[in-house]
Amino acid sequence: MATKSINAAKRAVKTIRESMKMIEKQPEVGRPVEDMEPEYREWPINFGDSGYIVLYRYDGHTALIVAVRHQKEAGYRA
């Protein structure tokens, strides 16, 4: 069971890193986030039955990753 979890974690990290390349190449690809400043965007990452959501801030020059959460977790917004 533990080996399965370790392997799943490694696959998840690889998938997240690959998806970050899209944000790096096309930072406006994410959807704007409701109730937040317009610089904030979300990018969904499919993984298994659900996936992850990347919250990032793009100021026109730089994309800064703010949070990465599993889609089943409670929101990352304060």
pLDDT at 29: 93
Q: In sequence order, what are the residues at sequence separation of 6 or more whose Cβ sits closer than 8 angstroms to the Cβ of residue 55?
A: 33, 40, 41, 42, 65, 66, 67, 68, 69, 76, 77
Q: What does the pLDDT look like over 9-50, one tens digit per residue?
A: 999 999 999 999 999 999 999 999 999 999 999 999 999 888
Instruction: Tokens for 21, please give them.
Output: 């390349």
- Identify any residues that bridge with 31 across adjacent strands, giving them in sequence order: 42
What is the rounded distance in angstroms from the CA atom of residue 53 to the CA atom of residue 46?
A: 9
Q: What order do you get walking across the sheet with 31-32 strand by strand?
A: 31-32, 40-47, 50-58, 63-70
